[in-house]
Amino acid sequence: MKLKQLEGLLGGLQQFPQPKEELEQYPTGPHIASRMLFTAENSFEDVSNKVVADFGCGCGTLGVAAALLGAEHVLSIDIDPESLEIASVNAEELELDIDFIRSNVLELGWRGPIVDTVIMNPPFGTRKKGADMDFLSVALKVASQAVYSLHKTSTRDHVKRTALRSFNASSAEVICELRFDVPKMYKFHKKKEVDIAVDLWRFVPASHQRST
């Protein structure tokens, strides 16, 4: 599938009608989501024929993108039932078979190294400090092959240091810098549209054979 085609399909997905501020529900736009998964597949072969988990899936965009690019099994997790409802409708409309779980990503119990790749657009931690790094810590335990994640560019040094030193990642590389358009959705947003710089990261977990 071509990048443009993927972006087009993701652009048709339903998004949060009433975003929840405390969960930092910002939609992952089709531009960013398509580039994340397209790179994961075409530069690193981390998607097709793999088991892929989407942490904090929201309306399901990243998991849908993974399924469109040929992931064999996609498992999308979110704490919010309304998001999961929309995400499952999004999957159904594209005739994709995606498994959903309602859970706090940080509290789910896992057996064995079955998940190959974790993809996520974590809460950036503006409302709950360190939330994105908590997600990353779990992702690096669950994935056996790679983790793709978005973090604010302003935290780049911190993300790299923490991933390598505290979470034992064997590598942590910024693939590209993107602009994240966050339309004015919440009361605390002063400007009409907030444009933040985010990094698309690829992390490789410590061991490919580890069980959790």
Partner 1 sequence: MRLLTHNMLSSNIKGVVNGFPLRIEVEKVVEKTVEMNGEFLKKMFEKVDWKALIDASRAMGYTELPEEADSSMLDSDEFLNRFHHALLEIHLEEGALVCPETGRRFPVNKGIPNMLLHEDEV
**Per CB under 8 A, does 102 bind partner 1?**
yes
Instruction: Establish if 92 lies at the interface with partner 1 (CB under 8 A).
Output: no
Write out the two tokens for 21: 């501020």
Q: Name 172's Cβ contacts closer than 8 Å, sequence gap at least 6.
A: 159, 160, 163, 164, 201, 202, 203, 204
Select 9 or 101, whichever has its Cβ closest to partner 1.
Answer: 101
* 168 lies in the binding site for partner 1 (CB under 8 A): no
- Of the candidate spans 12-20, 111-119, 122-130, 185-193, the one that interacts with partner 1 by CB under 8 A turns out to be 111-119
Using DSSP, state whether 6 is helix, strand or coil: helix
- In the complex, minimum distance from the CB of residue 55 to partner 1, in angstroms, rounded to a whole number: 13
Residue 209: how many other CB atoms lie within 10 Å:
6
Binding mask 36-55 for partner 1 (x = CB under 8 A): -------------x-x----
In the 8-state DSSP scheme, what is residue 112?
A: S
- Judged by CB, which is closer to partner 1: 101, or 185? 101
Stretch that binds partner 1, among 4-12, 25-33, 93-101, 160-168 (CB under 8 A): 93-101
Q: Is residue 113 close enough to count as binding partner 1 by CB under 8 A?
A: yes
Residue 93 in contact with partner 1, rule: CB under 8 A: no
Q: Which amino acid is at 91?
A: A
Contact present, 122 and 55 (Cβ < 8 Å): yes
Six token digits for residue 104: 């706090």
Beta bridge partners of 54: 76, 119
Summarize as ranges the residues that interact with partner 1 (CB under 8 A): 49, 51, 72-73, 75, 79, 81, 84, 88, 97, 99-104, 107-115
